Structure 1
Amino acid sequence: MAAYYSVLFFILLYSMILKADIYNKEATNTVSLMMSDPLNNVTCDSILNEFAEYAADFTKCSIMYARPVRLCEKCIDQYINFTKKYKDMLTAVENGKPCKSVYISQDRLDAVLEYHDNILSIWNKGNCHACYDWSQAVPVLSNETKYFITIFQETTSCIEENNKTCTNSSQVCANCMQDYLKLDNYYKTLSADAIGVDSICMDIVDSMNTTRSTWSKTLNCCKIRRTPEIIFLCCAGIISALPLFYYVVLRYCGPIRDFPNVLKQSRFKQTILRSLNGRIN
């Protein structure tokens, strides 16, 4: 009897070990499947909800940094999250049905695709990709952008500090001239390619335009260049007026008034008079 119970005990023990091994394998396969496919247990509704949140985040960020334009620099995280979630929507499948077949290109309104294209249009219109180095897994500001920001901050700081201490704008122009020329010359090198300013990140373009406006209009630092322009315009005006002046002088001061009247009578009239005189004679 004891031997019988011993055999029965070993059979039960073996079956328990076998079930545990099968359970562990199933659990391992489940975990590996979830790790290989992060969207395995994500529903289309949850992806749509996150897509809407990221779209709202980017929209708010782009409005907050619309003036002065710092959209490219400040909204990169929101843009990456938004584009990533849109890609998830294109690849996710729920119960064998792709999520994109539920939300994209299903009606004339096509709100999801419209919002995606609108946000992408804002990003591309600002040439924001040009601000970054995309060679790494996470985009970082390019060396050109970093250097421009550095010299832009130096120029801006110089103008602001001298505005507080100098009594007139001429001193500000003189003290910050080298910083401004350095910034302006570097900006020209960025737009020296065939595409020109259209290939530059909008953050950089707006920063340079603002600095030039402050330099030329607010501080009036371009008056040195304005003097030759005024001289040129005056000379051009004088040269253009010389022909008119010449004809006026010739008309009233020259011998043209003493010229005899020529051809007072037309040839036709002279012919008629001659024929009449011939008949009378």
Structure 2
Amino acid sequence: MMYVTGFLLKCLLLVGVCMGTEWILDDAQGAANSDLISRALWAEELSLSLLPSYSLAPEPMPDPLQCIPLLHEFANNSAALSNCLVNMARPVRLCQHCYKENSQLKATMSKIGNPVQNGTVSCSTVLLRSDRVQVIVTLSEFFDKLWSDSKCANCLQTNGTEISKNTSDFMNSFDSLIQCFNNTMREPPIPTQQGNYSRVCQSCNESYRQLNSLYNALEHTNALCIDLEDVMNGTRKLWSKTFNCTLPCTDTVPVIAVSAFILFLPVVFYLSSFLHSEQKKRKLILPNRFKSAANLANIQDKRN
């Protein structure tokens, strides 16, 4: 605020000096030539002082010719990544097939931010901050967000240049299951069964269980990406809806035993309550000899 106020004061002072110069020219043009020159020089110095500081000492800029190759490199890499992402959208395999293009695009962005050859300034000022839209920055942020939302880093190694071993093992298990589906479907159907889907359930049950267990383990360790999630979702739909197969639960016997025990608890409770009440009644009943003695005493009292 103080800077703006000072700037306005300087502008008003400059306008006043210029107006005073015009008055001198109109009123006493010949007599005040020397004073006019000094005022004009002072006004020129004042106007130069009003200019922003960067105009007097401009920020060093790189040679645009050195930045044009980086612009073309970013265009080629972004086009290659876009083409790969679209082609691998169905079925989703973008993390496994587009990580090279993504790494190349990140490397190009690093080059733009680093100083150019034989210089101390980078091309970021020319390519990234030279316009309001900032096309390169917007595109780079879009690719980063898509890559992050897909959780592709979970399916790659730490450096992001190779597929992780867990991902490779999962995809190999998936390929084995699909091969089992294809081989079983080629076999002749069983006459007593509807199609040959029951044969698929029997022949590929072990492969499906192995794939499902591996997926649960990766899910527990947060090692899943969009590729593996899409693979497992499609496989489960194929197994349950298309082939009408079910995965038997290994905890069936313990669940049945616990359920039966819980249902039997009320019976045990009421039975134990009934037996406990009967025992109390028996304790209150007098023995037979006490009953006979009591009867004799009552008879004697009545006779007397």
Return the TM-score normalized by structure 2.
0.55
Post-superposition Cα deviations, 1:91-115, rounded to whole Å, max 9, x if no partner, equal 1337654200112133331110000
Give the Cα–Cα distance (whole angstroms) in 2 for the partners of residues 111 and 118 of structure 1. 11
Aligned to 2:181: 159
Tell me how far apart the structure 2 counterparts of residues 88 and 207 of structure 1 sit (CA, whole Å). 36
Question: Which protein is bigger by CA-based radius of gyration?
Answer: 2
- 2:208 corresponds in structure 1 to 180
Instruction: Kindly provide the amino acid, as one letter, of the partner of residue 70 in structure 1.
Output: R
Cα drift, residue 57 of structure 1: 0.2
Q: How does 1:119-268 map to 2 (within 5 A)?
A: 119-134=143-158, 139-167=161-189, 168-193=196-221, 199-222=223-246
Q: Write the distance in 1 (CA, Å) between the matches of 2:96 and 2:188.
A: 33
Tell me the CA shift for residue 88 of structure 1: 0.3
Shift of 1:148: 0.6
* Residue of structure 2 equivalent to 1:279: none
Q: Is the 8 A contact 2:103 2:161 kept in 1?
A: no
Equivalent residue, structure 2, for 1:72: 95
> Which residue is equivalent to 2:113?
90
1:134 Cα deviation after fit = 2.2
- After the TM superposition, list the runs of 4 or more consecutive aligned residues in structure 1 that deviate by more than 6 angstroms: none
Structure 1 residue ranges without an equivalent (≥5): 1-39, 229-281
CA contact (8 A) 1:44 1:92 kept: no
2:114 is aligned with 1:114: no
Secondary structure of the equivalent of 1:133?
coil
* 1:20-48 alpha-carbon deviations (Å, 9 max, x no partner): xxxxxxxxxxxxxxxxxxxx9x8101001
Does the CA contact (< 8 Å) of 1:166 and 1:172 recur in 2? Answer: no
Kept in 2: contact 1:130–1:201 (CA 8 A):
yes
Percent identity, aligned pairs only, is 28
Helix, strand or coil: the match of 2:112?
Answer: helix
Match of 2:69 among 32, 38, 46: 46
Q: Equivalents in 2 of 1:80, 1:121: separation in Å?
A: 14
Tell me if structure 1 keeps the 8 A contact 2:112–2:123: yes
> How large is the Cα RMSD of the aligned pairs?
2.6
Give the Cα–Cα distance (whole angstroms) in 2 for the partners of residues 181 and 224 of structure 1.
Answer: 9
* Cα distance in 1 for residues equivalent to 2:248 and 2:197: 13
Moved more, 96-105 or 116-125: 96-105
CA-to-aligned-CA distance 1:59-108 (integer Å, 9 cap, x gap): 00000000101101111111111110111011133765420011213333
- Aligned amino acid, residue 132 of structure 2: R
C-alpha separation between the residues in 2 aligned to 1:213 and 1:115?
36
**Equivalent in the alignment of 1:250:** none
| Equivalent pairs, count | 182
Q: Which runs of 5+ in 2 are unaligned?
A: 1-62, 190-195, 253-304
